[in-house]
Amino acid sequence: TLHDKLNAVFKKIKGQAKITEDNIKDAVKQVRLALLEADVNYKVVKKFISAVQEKALGEEVLKSLTPDQVFIKIVHDELVNVLGGDDQSTKIKLNPIPPTKIMLVGLQGSGKTTTAGKLAKYFQKNGKDVLLVADDIYRPAAIDQLEILGKQLKVDVFSKRDEQDAVKIAKEAVQHAKSAAKDVVIIDTAGRLHIDETLMEELKNIKEAINPDEILFVADAMTGQDAVNVAKTFNEMLDITGVILTKLDGDARGGAALSIREVTGKPLKFVGTGEKLDAFEPFYPDRMASRILGMGDIVTLVEMAQDAIEEDEAEKLATKIQKKGLDFNDMLQQMKMIKKMGSFESILKLLPGFSGLGNIDVDESNFKRIEAIINSMTPLERTNYKILNASRKRRIAKGSGTSVSEVNKLIQQLQQMNKMMKKFKKQFSGKDKIDKNM
Ligand code: GDP
Ligand code: MG
């Protein structure tokens, strides 16, 4: 299995301190395979791999990890980043002056009409009044399909069965939406089996006539590689604002997501995961990254690497504290780590003597207050709390929007922790003697 293969590779190079072109050769190969298997376009794979490789070379490796593991973690993080990271561009922008106009475009069968219904339901759940527009005039069945969805959702559908001009319908629909005070208009357009000049012209004209807030390209994830060229053309012609990837419930490994994002530079906004109207969710870059890298082995490796990196940070902090005592910078860092690692326990394991304390309360609002207090201190005050006299305390309380008594409480906490640390250091000479349960 892939896992065995990777393990064998790791054994060979364990204990190397830096990532070199040589010691990640096998990992690069595995990642390249995973991406190709996920149906990422080969040009995109090549560009992506060489970018991360460059980024990774020379990177220090933690003692608990191998260069391969660190590399795969870098790949994963970069993948999340390329797919959109935490950026907010994956959200639909609502126009402050309603209605927000959303135009769905894409090839025939990609899932536009279904997605129109799903989007309508999504907005409906968020308390918006939606108008669906049947602007695929070439197939009467397309109008029926949307009307059925509208009935099911109790959402109004605008259609004109004997109008031959899709631009006119779009314009009238927007007018109607305005007078009916709709919040969102979703326009379902016609698709073709292949890209086609006449259709592109029509879509461009609709765009010009109604000036949509969003032009969302609907792509079938199952089409993998082909989706790339189609996405490119649609983007060139219409300057799309985002992408919806459908049919991710099938075998599709999501490679199209990376390819389309890379080729168009436009954010993915939603994914469709089934034929039903609620099989629809916002796009999550980290989930897609894991899917692309392959559910099993590589993802486990990424998780292992993440744990190890966090543990290493905690260990460094513990060593420093044992040597020099605890200051406010440590306190802040420690609290951040607690938040990140999700539990106090994980750090306690590494810090002798902490469990006996009336710990820092990491409740969210309390954390913010403590953070504000420490942030209001000068660098010198943070490393040397003994200089905190009455006037300094007053300044800090004022700066952080807290009180002098809160500042005092925090100083006491730090003093108490340091006292405990000293006691423990005296009591135990070696780390190995410390009972985990204390
Ligand atoms: P359009 O031609 O672009 O309007 O595509 P349709 O909305 O009519 O969808 C084409 C087919 O794909 C229909 O059979 C849909 O039920 C199906 N479909 C659409 N989205 C999804 C999805 O996310 N998952 C699955 N499994 N099927 C989907
Ligand atoms: Mg349709």
The domain segmentation of the chain, as residue ranges, is: 2-82, 88-285, 325-433
Spacing, Cα 267 to ligand 1 middle (Å): 21
Instruction: Tell me, using a 6 A CB cutoff, whether residue 274 lines ligand 1.
Output: yes
Which residues have a beta carbon within 5 Å of ligand 2, which is an ion?
Answer: 112-113, 142
Q: What residues are designated binding site for GTP? A: 106-113, 188-192, 246-249
ipTM over 0.85: yes
- Measured CA to CA, the distance from residue 132 to residue 129 in angstroms comes to 10
Residue nearest (by alpha carbon) to ligand 1 atom 19: 111
Residue 171's closest CA among 216, 206, 214?
206
Instruction: Tell me, using a 6 A CB cutoff, whether residue 113 lines ligand 1.
Output: yes
**2-82 maps to CATH 3.30.160.40:** no
Nearest atom in ligand 1 to the alpha carbon of residue 271 is 23
Per CATH, 88-285 and 325-433 having the same topology is answered no
Which residues on neighbouring strands pair with residue 188, listed in sequence order? 104, 134
Contact 370, 397 (CB under 8 A): no
Instruction: Tell me, using a 6 A CB cutoff, whether residue 264 lines ligand 1.
Output: no
Identify the pLDDT of residue 128.
95
Identify the pLDDT of residue 14.
52
User: Which ligand sits closest to the CA of 110?
Assistant: 1
Instruction: Tell me, using a 6 A CB cutoff, whether residue 117 lines ligand 1.
Output: no
Quick one: 200 exposed, middle or buried, by C-beta within 10 A (0-12, 13-18, 19+)?
Answer: middle
Instruction: Tell me, using a 6 A CB cutoff, whether residue 112 lines ligand 1.
Output: yes
Nearest atom in ligand 1 to the alpha carbon of residue 110 is 3
Spacing, Cα 173 to ligand 1 middle (Å): 24
Extract the tokens encoding 158.
Answer: 């605008």
Instruction: Tell me, using a 6 A CB cutoff, whether residue 272 lines ligand 1.
Output: yes
- Measured CA to CA, the distance from residue 158 to residue 53 in angstroms comes to 52
Mutate to test the pocket of ligand 1, among 107, 108, 112, 114 (most ligand atoms within 8 A of CB): 114
Spacing, Cα 82 to ligand 1 middle (Å): 27
Identify the pLDDT of residue 305.
64
In 211-327, which ranges are continuous DSSP H helix? 226-238, 255-264, 285-293, 297-324
How are strands ordered across the β-sheet holding 242-246?
Answer: 156-158, 130-135, 184-189, 100-105, 214-220, 242-246, 268-272, 280-282
Identify the pLDDT of residue 374.
92
Half-sphere exposure of 96 (CA within 13 A, CB side): 0
Pick the CATH number of 325-433 from 1.20.210.10, 3.40.50.2300, 1.10.260.30, 3.50.50.60: 1.10.260.30
* Sign of the Cα pseudo-torsion (202, 208, 211, 214, in order): positive
Contact 314, 342 (CB under 8 A): no
Residue/partner pairs of 405-409 with CB below 8 Å, 24 or more apart: 406/369, 406/373, 407/373
Identify the pLDDT of residue 341.
54
Identify the pLDDT of residue 64.
65
Spacing, Cα 135 to ligand 2 middle (Å): 9
Report the predicted TM-score, pTM, of the whole model to 2 decimal places. Answer: 0.70
Spacing, Cα 177 to ligand 2 middle (Å): 21
Backbone angles phi, psi at 272, to 5 degrees: -100, 135
Tens digit of each residue's pLDDT, the chain (438 residues): 555 555 554 455 455 678 888 888 888 988 888 888 888 888 889 999 999 999 888 887 776 677 887 888 888 889 988 888 766 666 788 899 999 999 999 999 999 999 999 999 999 999 999 999 999 988 878 999 999 999 999 999 999 998 999 999 999 999 999 999 999 999 999 988 888 888 999 999 999 999 999 999 999 988 877 788 899 999 999 999 999 999 988 777 788 888 999 899 999 999 999 999 989 998 988 888 888 887 545 556 666 666 666 667 767 766 776 677 778 887 787 777 666 655 444 444 444 444 444 444 555 667 788 889 998 999 889 988 889 999 999 999 999 999 999 999 999 888 887 777 666 655 544 444 333 333
Residue nearest (by alpha carbon) to ligand 1 atom 20: 111
Quick one: 88 exposed, middle or buried, by C-beta within 10 A (0-12, 13-18, 19+)?
Answer: exposed
- Domain 88-285 fold is Rossmann fold (3.40.50)
Residue nearest (by alpha carbon) to ligand 1 atom 16: 275
